[in-house]
Structure 1
Amino acid sequence: MNLFSSFDPSTNFNLPLNWLSSLLGFLIIPPMFWFIPSRANMLWINIISTLNKEFKVLLGTNKNQGSTLIFISLFSFILFNNFLGLFPYIFTGTSHLAMTLTLALPLWLSFMIYGWVNNTIHMFAHLVPQGTPPILMPFMVCIETISNLIRPGTLAVRLSANMIAGHLLMTLLGNTGPKLTLLLVNFLIIIQILLLILESAVSIIQSYVFAVLSVLYSKEVN
C-alpha cells in the first residue's frame, strides 16, 4: 500500500474490479423514478430542467429534438462518479485518463466527422477568424487546427487532473495525522472538512464544465 494505491484500477486480486464503481449508479438511480416523487427526486428534476434550458440556449436553433439529452446524461454520469470518489476506499473512475478520454474522444470525433462531411465550407471558415489580415492567415490556420485537435485531450486532462489533485492533497494531509499533537489534529480535521466541501464543489463544477464545453464544440459544427 502506498500513496497512489487508491488510484490503481487493479488493487483487488489483480483484476480491474475497481471500474465496477462506475456502474453503481445504474443500481441506485432507477428506483427514484418509480417511487412517489421525493425531495431528492424533485431536486434532480429541477437540475435537469435547468440544464436543459441552458443547453438549448447554447445549441441555438437546432431542429433535432432531444439533442440536449446526451449532454445531460454525460453531466449526470460524471457528477455521480466524481461524488462517489469522495467516499473513503471507493475508486474514482474520473481520475483516470482511460475513462475521461473514453468520454471526450468519441464525442469530439463524432462532431468532427459530422461537421466535415455535412458542413465542409463552414468548418473551413472556422479555421480563419473573421478580420484576420491575409499575411497571418496561414499561421491562424495552423493555430486553429492545433487548438481543435487538442480539444479532447484538454477535456480529459482537465477533469482527471482536478480529481487527482484534490484527492492527493486530502491523502497527504491525512497521512500526517498520526504524527501531530491533539491540537494540530483538531486543526487538521477542520482543514479536511473544508477541503471536502471544496472537492464537492469541484465535482459539480468539473462535470458542468465538461458538459458545457461538449455542447459548445457541437454547436460549432452546425
Structure 2
Amino acid sequence: MTLNVLIVEDDHDLAETLAAQMENFGHRSTLVDNGQKALAVVGDDAFDVMILDRVMPVMDGVTVLQHLRAANLNLPVLMLTAFGKANQKVEGLEAGADDYVVKPIDALELNARLNALVRARHWTTEDSDTIRAGGIVVSPTKYRAWRDGKSLDLPRTELRLLTELARNAGAVLTRPMLLEKVWNYDFEPTTNIVDTYIKRLRKKLTEDGSEDPITTLRGVGYMLNK
C-alpha cells in the first residue's frame, strides 16, 4: 500500500529520518515543522495519514488534533511523542488521535501501524461478519458501520466503541467495562474519555436527524437500544 503521509515534526533531523523511512516503504511524505502549518496544508492534498509530534512550537499536537476533529476532518492521525505516561496517552487519544506511540519506534512497526490506520478507513462492504442492533450494522473485521443502510464514517476508536455497544445492545456497559474493552485500560483515567467519545459517536449517529440510539444511565454507563 502506497501512502501519502503528512509528517508534522519540529525536530528537523527526526523529520528527515521519518521521511526517509517512509520513502523506503514506497510512501510519499510532506514535512511541516509546526501545528499551524499542518492545519494550513492538510486540506491542500489528499493525505492518507498524519504523523504528529505532540510537543511543538506555535501550536502543539493536542491542539492540532482538536482543530482537526472540530472541523470533522477524519484523517487518521498517529501521535508520536516522548511522553508515555497514562494520563498523557489518554489526553492524546481523547483529543482525537487514532494511535499514540512513544519515541523511538522501529520503522517496521511504524509502517505497520500507519497501514493499519489507513486500512481501517477503506474496507469494502461485505455481509460475512456483522453485528446488528436495530438499524445499526457493524462489521468489526472490516472496520465498517452503517445506520439504516447509510455508511458511517467513523474513526477507529469510535468504531470500536460502537462495536461493543452493538455487541451488547440492550445491556448496560459501565465506563470501566468500556475502558477495558475499547481502550484496553485496566485503570480509571482522570479524564472523561468515555463520555467524550460517546458524545462524538452520538453526533455521527444523529447528524441526519435520526433518533439518538444510545441511552445514558447516569452514574452507571451507556446502552445501545435494540
Q: Give the TM-score normalised by structure 2.
A: 0.25
- By percentage of residues, which structure has more strand? 2
**With CA pairs under 8 Å and 6+ residues apart, which has the higher RCO, 1 or 2?**
1
Larger-Rg structure: 1
- By percentage of residues, which structure has more helix? 1
